[in-house]
Copies of this chain bind each other. A is one copy, B any other.
Amino acid sequence: MNDLPEQEESLFDAPPLAEQERMVEAVLFASADPVTVNDLASRMPHGCNPKAALELLQRRYEGRGVRVVRVGDSWAIRTAPDLGFLMQKETVETRKLSRAAIETLAIIAYHQPCTRAEIEEIRGVSVSRGTLDQLMELDWIRFGRRRMSPGRPVTYVVTPHFLDHFGLESARDLPGVKELRAAGLLESRPLPGLDATDDDEDQDDLFEDES
């Protein structure tokens, strides 16, 4: 579904970039959810370059009341955060998350793909089914690939919706992620005396869904 339309020889020239920028502007304004570049390309006339148009548009809205933001490989328009005080009417009351849920979410975000055993290892307590369910229901986490280790445990990863909610371009932009990695705090380090070689290869998997 997301395939780019075939690049046939177009009978017409693509519209000028300024016009393409208008089109991208219209589509992003019309959608509450982020729109993928592929989706933009499929809706715009042949030969358009939505990426270039997006960059132009993003610059145009710098400092304005709404901003053009990237969410994974999608784009959206969001109000500037400093104007949140104007939107009491639009504010959605969110259920307060438990401390367990917030920590579990952070662990998944920073360690993804991450198994339940790994979450428990980091927190030192078992993760209740309800915590993961709640995060799934919020559409902030989802199942990732199964780990190739014994038992083929299921992994969890964060969703584009999570990135959108917290205004992140990608999981690489999580606060402090570089420092944590440099300090070795995102490795899965086994208890000395326990053999856990199979965990090593998983680090390559980090942020698998973003390339």
Point out residues on A near B: beta carbons under 8 Å: 21-27, 29-32, 42-44, 63-66, 77, 79-80, 83, 86-90
Rounded to whole angstroms, the CA-CA distance of A23 and B79 in the bound complex is 9
Residue in A27, A31, A86 with the greatest tally of chain B CB atoms within 10 Å:
A86
Given contacts A25-B66, A30-B86, A43-B86, 10 further A-B contacts (CB under 8 A): A22-B65, A25-B64, A26-B65, A26-B66, A26-B87, A27-B87, A29-B77, A29-B79, A30-B79, A30-B87
Rounded to whole angstroms, the CA-CA distance of A128 and B88 in the bound complex is 44
* CB-based closest 8 A-B pairs: A25-B65, A22-B65, A26-B65, A26-B79, A26-B83, A29-B66, A30-B90, A43-B86
- Find chain B residues with CB under 8 A from A21 CB: 65
- Find chain B residues with CB under 8 A from A63 CB: 22
- Find chain B residues with CB under 8 A from A31 CB: 89-90
Rounded to whole angstroms, the CA-CA distance of A117 and B29 in the bound complex is 44
A54 to chain B, nearest CB (A): 12
Given contacts A22-B80, A80-B22, contact A27 B86 (CB under 8 A): yes
A156 to chain B, nearest CB (A): 31
Residue in A22, A64, A65, A66 with the greatest tally of chain B CB atoms within 10 Å:
A65
A62 to chain B, nearest CB (A): 12
A29 to chain B, nearest CB (A): 5
A94 to chain B, nearest CB (A): 16
- Find chain B residues with CB under 8 A from A29 CB: 29, 65-66, 77, 79
- Report the nearest B residue to A43, measured CB to CB: B86
Rounded to whole angstroms, the CA-CA distance of A65 and B23 in the bound complex is 6
Given contacts A44-B86, A89-B42, contact A64 B32 (CB under 8 A): no
- Find chain B residues with CB under 8 A from A22 CB: 63-65, 80, 83
